[in-house]
Amino acid sequence: MKLLVTGGAGYVGSVVSALLLEAGHEVVVLDDLSTGHEDAVPQGARLVRGTLRDTAADVLAGAGFEAVLHFAAKSLVGESVEKPGLYWDKNLGESLALLDAMRLAGVPRIVFSSTAATYGEPESTPILETAPTRPTNPYGASKLAIDTALAEYARLHGLGGVSLRYFNVAGAYGRHGERHTVETHLIPNVLKIAQGDGAAVRMFGDDYPTPDGTCVRDYIHVTDLGRAHLLALDACAPGTHQIFNLGSGTGSSVQEVVDVCREVTGREIPAEVAPRRAGDPAVLVASSEKIQAELGWKPERDLRTMIDDAWTFLRSR
Ligand code: UDP
């Protein structure tokens, strides 16, 4: 298939682009390089530099694209609280421009990078797709609004859409790994300390109602996550919008992550307890039974493999 990957110069988008190319698809990446990296775009993919609002219509018009995989987004929760307008504009506004460009060009399918942040603080875990959606920050709210728009475009215009709601993505796929300028995520931050970049890991809170008092999250390997996108692409059906959670179904605490990082790196990794981070729920674990049952997806790589691959990636840079 001829595919447009928005945000294909970013972490998840570049991994998915690489997997799509390996599966024999033709890939065009559309990225404004505001947070992505030109050298992350896999060889064999053509890069068009631009925003969705200014460029998507021109790229798609009359070009015979069969589907879009949509990753381009602002994704820092803290920043979204400080600058909600930026998140509504870049995430929702530009996604609507993309959807209209797809409609005009007759592109029938979209796989969208949604998030567990659409659920907010869960009433119970593991989180099912039918759980209430009450995002606690503008990032999650803007992604939820896009999910809603996809459902409307499916109903009104016959679009075939799939939203994949990611939990905590980690690991690397070969030369594609996490390279955020502002890094807020736990695993890359712990591995930076292992490399000697910083004094100590700050573990945000040790008094949560969890077995060791630190927050529990559901980590999923970026390669497993990437594979799900290929299945989702095949599952897009005209006039429907489907939602699938993507996690491993296993919870790991911040303390456990730090311990596995110590084992994998063989380094001491000093860690200290810091105050809770605002807005962190105690436990976020996905039920990914739906995607397992309906699309035949299964996670294959455990936490140790994620950390191992992230560590190999970090040391290769
Ligand atoms: N965390 C931490 N220290 C850090 C970064 C994150 O203790 O330097 C904790 C954070 O409070 C959360 C978990 O690690 O409980 C995962 O955070 P991350 O930012 O990786 O992902 P999130 O779950 O917020 O999407």
Q: What is the model's pLDDT at position 136?
A: 92
- The residues assigned a catalytic role are 139
Provide φ and ψ at 271, rounded to 5°.
Answer: -140, 145
pLDDT cut 90: percent of the chain above it? 96
Share the mean pLDDT of the chain: 97
- In angstroms, the Cα distances linking 114 to 110, 159, 168, 195 are 12, 17, 12, 32
Q: What is the model's pLDDT at position 271?
A: 98
Residue 201 binned pLDDT confidence (cut-offs 50, 70, 90): very high
pLDDT cut 70: percent of the chain above it? 100
Q: What is the DSSP string of 280-293?
A: --SEE-B--HHHHH
| Cα–ligand 1 centroid distance for 185 (angstroms) | 6
Q: Is the CB of 192 under 6 A from ligand 1?
A: no
Residue among 136, 169, 217, 261 to mutate when testing ligand 1 (max atoms within 8 A of CB): 217
Cβ-count burial 95-106 (b if 16+ within 10 Å, e if not) = bbbbbebbbebe
Q: Is the CB of 215 under 6 A from ligand 1?
A: yes
Q: What is the model's pLDDT at position 180?
A: 81
Res 259 pLDDT > 90: yes
Res 278 pLDDT > 90: no
Q: Whose CA is nearest to atom 14 of ligand 1?
A: 186
Q: What is the model's pLDDT at position 166?
A: 97
Strand partners, 134: 120
Q: Whose CA is nearest to atom 5 of ligand 1?
A: 186
Q: What is the mean pLDDT of residues 287-294?
A: 98
Res 280 pLDDT > 90: no
Q: pLDDT for 127-177, tens place per residue?
A: 999 999 999 999 999 999 999 999 999 999 999 999 999 999 999 999 999
Q: What is the model's pLDDT at position 181?
A: 82
Residue among 248, 277, 307 to mutate when testing ligand 1 (max atoms within 8 A of CB): 277
Res 298 pLDDT > 90: yes
* Residue 215 C-beta-side C-alpha neighbours within 13 Å: 22
Residue 317 binned pLDDT confidence (cut-offs 50, 70, 90): confident
Contact at 8 Å (CB) between 314 and 279?
Answer: no
Q: What is the mean pLDDT of residues 20-43?
A: 97
Res 32 pLDDT > 90: yes
Three-state DSSP class for 14?
A: helix
Q: Is the pTM of this model over 0.90?
A: yes
Residue 182 binned pLDDT confidence (cut-offs 50, 70, 90): confident
Q: What is the mean pLDDT of residues 5-21?
A: 98
Going by C-alpha positions, the residue among 53, 30, 55, 26 that lies closest to residue 41 is 30
Q: Is the CB of 184 under 6 A from ligand 1?
A: yes
